[in-house]
Amino acid sequence: MPAIKKVVLQNFKKFGTLTLEFDSGVNVLIGDNETGKSSVLLALDLALSASRSRAETLGFESLIAQSAVQKFQQGAKTLELLPTLIVDVYLEEGEDPALYGTQNLTGTMTDGIRMEVAPLLEEFGPTILQLLKDDPDNFPYEYYTVKFSTFSGAPHVSYRRPLKHLLLDSSRIDSEYAAREYTRTVFSFNAEPPERYSLENCYRRGKEAFRDQELAALNAGLGAYQFGVRSSIRSNLETDLIITKEGIPIENRGKGEQCFIKTEFALRKHEARGELNALLLEEPENHLSHTKMKMLVEKLANTAGTQLFIATHSSHISSRLDLRHALLLGEGQKTGRLKALSDGTANFFMKAPDNNVLEFALSKKVILVEGDAEFILIEEIYKQHTDGRTPQSDEVHIISIGGTSFKRYL
């Protein structure tokens, strides 16, 4: 199956530079708030989708790293130094020569696609120079454009995606736009183009028949002004389709149930026609009960044929999906992996009761205690040995491991 091997970012969101290598199966992105987990998923989604309108809607000022903008404004303001945003997505090598080339940040001969946000220097170079001269603090976002290409330099367009992917963001799970985009994407995965075009044609003709037959009597007495039925791109089959479970539209269900249903439905195989190559999940634990989260984790763990990218704050999700699949994002754009964990330790956390392994991995300083009694006493003991300071003030995290499995954490 097509798979993502690596992503390299330049001047994207908070990242000046970032390189992440991925497993072909499960990849769990973990990190504290503001470490860039969501940004990595967004970068993958934008590059794979090749959606110019989405990138422009988000705004180049929100996509280009502010650190790069500030560096430019503090230095010599020449056209050559204007920052460029690049997202390079490296793919497993296949049989499509259009994907194969060296047009990437590492100069590697391989398959891949690129998103680039760069200034329009040929068309507006003199205009940009004058703008910077008149107001040095005015960064020329309006003179930037987004371009999607493959590593061979060929254009990359949304209707010829080399890899089928879907992004599910639980924070936007109940928005009208997110629901419509999800339904449209899943529909396109499960209906081949000939079938899709036939269904869209039948739907349009059905609306025309309603206009000509059901509205005819009403319109007959209206003269020049009559009622019609929309048939534009904003009112077609893809925009009007909904997904139901037991006859109830999923958008009428709770947020947690929506998240679970959408993930389950996306991972289903419809006679292999709608196989999903990559699923990007943004904090799937949001809105889920403990029972539903366990069901979701079991479903994700048993997924075959779909590469998973999961950004989470949940110890349950990260440990149950095998900590060796975890990618740690830290402050200062530092990254780490837990691939060196022994089989015994990885299996221990997969099977052990709920633990705090994620809090342990993300904390600067930690005190591990055996149980509840020690947890209650340790703060007072800490104060006595630090002139009254609390563990929180020293950024020390206290974790009760509920037993004597200290070596598993260390």
Q: Which of 168, 117, 164 is nearest to 145 (CA)?
A: 117
Inter-CA distances, 66 with 71, 125, 220, 275, 405, Å: 8, 22, 61, 38, 44
Maximum average pLDDT range among 97-111, 232-246, 380-394: 97-111
Kindly report the average pLDDT of the chain as a whole number. Answer: 85
Quick one: average pLDDT of 323-342?
Answer: 82
- For 88-135, the pLDDT digits (tens) are 999 998 888 999 999 999 999 999 999 999 999 999 999 999 999 999
pLDDT at 174 (0 to 100): 57
In the predicted structure, residue 209 carries a pLDDT above the cut 80: yes
Q: What tokens does 157 get?
A: 């367009």
CA nearest to 128, candidates 58, 68, 80? 80
Q: How many angstroms separate the CA atoms of 192 and 274, rounded? A: 8
Checking if the pLDDT of 219 tops 90, the result is no
Percent of the chain exceeding pLDDT 70 equals 93
**Can you state the angle between helices 255-267 and 290-301, rounded to 10 degrees?**
10
Tens digits of residue pLDDT in 129-170: 999 999 989 999 999 999 999 999 999 988 788 898 988 876
CA distance 132 to 77: 7
Map out the domains of the chain as residue ranges: 4-181+273-351, 363-409
Q: What mean pLDDT comes out for the span 292-306?
A: 81
> Are 277 and 265 in contact, with CB atoms under 8 Å apart?
no
In three-state secondary structure terms, 49 is helix
pLDDT surpassing 60 at residue 273: no
For 220-364, strand residue ranges (E) read 244-245, 248-249, 278-282, 307-312, 326-329, 335-337
Q: Looking at the predicted structure, is the pLDDT value of residue 52 above 60?
A: yes
Which CATH number does 4-181+273-351 carry?
A: 3.40.50.300
